[in-house]
Structure 1
């Protein structure tokens, strides 16, 4: 882990800066999120880019809700605010994280964006959220930043219920952590085996896609590569690499 040349403390939430990038930490050296100061809507970290891999299978309209579990530095929220017209609901248990993002990470303040200061485990079990979201992005880590803080079968079953009929979920996991197999098994059970796994990146993150609808079964290789080409041109994201990685990885999993 690199050391950074500046640090600002807000209780257990800290930030640092290096080479034009601002980083969020939860009181440790581990990076919980990042923002390029001159281009705040960019997705700086590779795994946050991969969290948008659901775009390979569908794009959302203004009537399709998006939920984000774990605010981090607000990267996914900023990107979706810029590139979609959807309502955006974010769940973040720590109000100090939200305050830090408002102060230093250009957190979008718009009527389309709502932040719930709740435990994600409880939030996904609330019937008022069932069948409500087309996309759910799950990135739930504590200060240790080793394994997700929510990983039970009941949690992922709650995620499944929060999605609408064609909904899909992306989850950030760590391949080398002991929680990885547990999470994969629980996601697969909750989503009836309809999952895809992206290749592990250098930092150890592995992003999993899980499908409630039929996008996975009806997507051909040609459709996947065509959509990747479109997404790469429109959003400047490495979607061709995602698609090739999905096709290469699935026979192994």
Structure 2
């Protein structure tokens, strides 16, 4: 396990211990000043004794892990990303762009035992915190790759069942993913009934045009729902031709998934059906032009 530098939190609200990728001889005063003026160039972790949080700066929390239940999905938006199971219940191949604190990787690795999982993370400093967040080591089902997610996808083999995108830097949504080429590649590399899920967070301007680009690539087969608890939106795009959800069946299936995974799938499917019938994705796309 990587030995982390520990520093009492200098922040008023985020109390606890700051864990940093620094040598033992680093100067605490300098690090404290960099954290406070947001000039510190690496991600860092705050441990408050109950949870661990990954930050790029103190205004942009990336991940949360409960120390008591480290394999659960603590943040609501990560739970809603798992709504792909309503439409793709037994994925063989899952690609995740953006590792963060590894919440989705851990959940999928533990709860989807027949799924091959690859997570691509651009920042080696994020990967360096994998032990702090109890991300399991690579094995025959799990591979964590350092690299650009858009490049990795462009070179990947076709037939990906689920593509999860949760990729951010200090300024918001990762720039290499915010373009039509990425969505066209996603469509090309997904399996025939594949699902793309994107966490849209940060400043709305940073992702305003993405919904329209997703709709263009996926022939308008896109659903967008809000995550008011986290201030995010979630985008789901479906490759399946003539995508026409059987909502009544899905409401029943959601109860089965809730029993299996402990997540509120009935609430997820209710929001998705409402969004689909109201055409919220198209409204957001028009607003983003």
Same fold (TM over 0.5): yes
- Corresponding residue for residue 15 of structure 1: 45
Greater mean alpha carbon deviation, residues 65-74 or residues 88-97: 88-97
Q: Is the 8 A contact 1:57 1:215 kept in 2?
A: no
Out of 191, 197, 222, the position equivalent to 1:170 is 197
Verify: 1:249 aligned to 2:275, yes or no: yes
For residue 154 of structure 1, report the CA deviation from its aligned partner: 0.3
- Corresponding residue for residue 252 of structure 2: 226
Greater Rg over alpha carbons, structure: 2
- Corresponding residue for residue 68 of structure 2: 38
Unaligned runs of 5+ in 2: 1-11, 23-41, 281-289
Structure 2 length normalisation: TM-score?
A: 0.80
Q: Is the 8 A contact 2:50 2:66 kept in 1?
A: yes
- Corresponding residue for residue 5 of structure 2: none
Verify: 1:213 aligned to 2:240, yes or no: yes
Structure 1 length normalisation: TM-score?
A: 0.90
- Corresponding residue for residue 221 of structure 2: 194
Out of 58, 66, 91, the position equivalent to 2:94 is 66
Q: Is the 8 A contact 1:91 1:115 kept in 2?
A: yes
For residue 203 of structure 1, report the CA deviation from its aligned partner: 2.5
Query: Could you give the per-residue CA deviations for residues 31-63 of structure 1, whole angstroms, max 9, x where no partner exists?
Result: 1111111211100001011111101112115xx
Partner-residue secondary structure (3-state), 1:186: helix
Unaligned runs of 5+ in 1: none
Calculate the aligned-residue CA RMSD, in Å.
Answer: 1.9
Greater mean alpha carbon deviation, residues 69-78 or residues 163-172: 163-172
For residue 106 of structure 1, report the CA deviation from its aligned partner: 0.8
- Corresponding residue for residue 153 of structure 1: 180
- Give the Cα separation in 1 of the matches to 2:264 and 2:98: 23
For residue 137 of structure 1, report the CA deviation from its aligned partner: 0.3
- Give the Cα separation in 2 of the matches to 1:204 and 1:39: 24
Q: Is the 8 A contact 1:135 1:167 kept in 2?
A: yes
Greater relative CO (CA pairs within 8 A, separation 6+) = 1
